[in-house]
Structure 1
């Protein structure tokens, strides 16, 4: 566990990724199963609709004292006073966010190729999303499929907290932590699960067990 990012299981949630229950229900079940931090990712909503959904989710995350991250929309992040924001290469850059938002807020930045580790955006970010570890149907514009060797390489080049995303589940979580990730970010394995709480518990157990072995 990284001292600057004490979260082990990170849920990335959207309405379309939730198969069996509404988004807010999945979020609450996942928190009860051990999710430590949640990112709301709604690429196709208007800003006003995104804010409304974020406000509803924040009531749940606040109740459980879980940080809420907003995906790629600074207006929404500001409107709901979220814990942080997460952006990728084609979004508002972290350096610009720093100039336009509270300095105490957290910025996550997706690493899709090694050269990014040398840029000003990585320096400005608080933590890095390694995206994706394995290619997924939820992200079609993949630049690099990192795999375990990619995590090891990035770990050797930065001390920042690393969040692994991309087809993460209970079967590969331990190996990904062992390779150098600090946190596992999950989308489909939890959001599309018939029992989100049980699935979250299973993944969290694998993460905790591996952290204890390190």
Structure 2
């Protein structure tokens, strides 16, 4: 099975504790209506059974809409709920083991916090790099110093893998993140904590589309 070619442009990473406008399923559904192109289920506090059940619920919601579902870290949960892939960090399961378990068709992203880690992710054949964090953010406190826009530009010049930027990104700075070379922006609070997830997603999608049109003209 060949790997899918996902659209990383507006990538929602979940956090139930931040949702203010309804259940996580409600927020995800409305965010997809607004233009979210990929969803990562990241719920550190759930037991395995609840994690799988939530994954199945989101998979049932997203699959008919053609939006891929990835699971953070947990390959077992991804397999059990039929997710389209996983996202792994530097202390999670190794990429080679995740690929062997998930299969050739799965989408596997790898968080990178240094140029060396980025080089390894590209060498291994990851589908994309999660550039983490671009800016400081309260939702990710266990990471290295922020890359900043210049760091993101440096990665873009050096590597060909899709770059998904995460960390402190919202409507006010999304455009400059795309301009610095990101193929997608991963957001948590910008959508989960919004009173209107559909509008929040639509705003970010409009930025992504605008940057793509500008790039096509150049």
1:135-146 → structure 2 map (5 Å cutoff): 135-146=136-147
* Correspondence for 1:31: 32
Give 3-state SS (helix, strand or coil) of 1:108's partner: strand
Q: CA deviation at 1:151?
A: 0.7
Give 3-state SS (helix, strand or coil) of 1:44's partner: coil
Q: CA deviation at 1:122?
A: 5.3
Give 3-state SS (helix, strand or coil) of 2:31's partner: helix
Q: TM-score, normalised to structure 2's length?
A: 0.93
CA RMSD in angstroms, aligned pairs only: 1.5
* Correspondence for 2:160: 159
* Correspondence for 1:73: 74
Q: CA deviation at 1:166?
A: 0.6
Moved more, 202-211 or 120-129: 120-129
2: CA distance, partners of 1:7 / 1:89: 21
1:112-151 → structure 2 map (5 Å cutoff): 112-119=113-120, 123-151=124-152
Give 3-state SS (helix, strand or coil) of 1:100's partner: helix
1: CA distance, partners of 2:99 / 2:207: 35
Give 3-state SS (helix, strand or coil) of 1:176's partner: helix
1: CA distance, partners of 2:115 / 2:49: 36
Deviation string, structure 1 residues 119-178 (Cα, Å, up to 9, x no partner): 267523111100111111111112130111011011111100110111111111111111
* Correspondence for 1:94: 95
1:1-214 → structure 2 map (5 Å cutoff): 4-119=5-120, 123-214=124-215
Contact 1:122-1:128 at 8 Å conserved across structures: no
**Structure 1 unmatched ranges of 5 or more:** none
**Structure 2 unmatched ranges of 5 or more:** none
2: CA distance, partners of 1:185 / 1:107: 15
Contact 1:98-1:124 at 8 Å conserved across structures: no
2: CA distance, partners of 1:129 / 1:15: 21
1: CA distance, partners of 2:31 / 2:119: 35
Moved more, 198-207 or 122-131: 122-131
Give 3-state SS (helix, strand or coil) of 1:129's partner: strand
Moved more, 94-103 or 26-35: 94-103
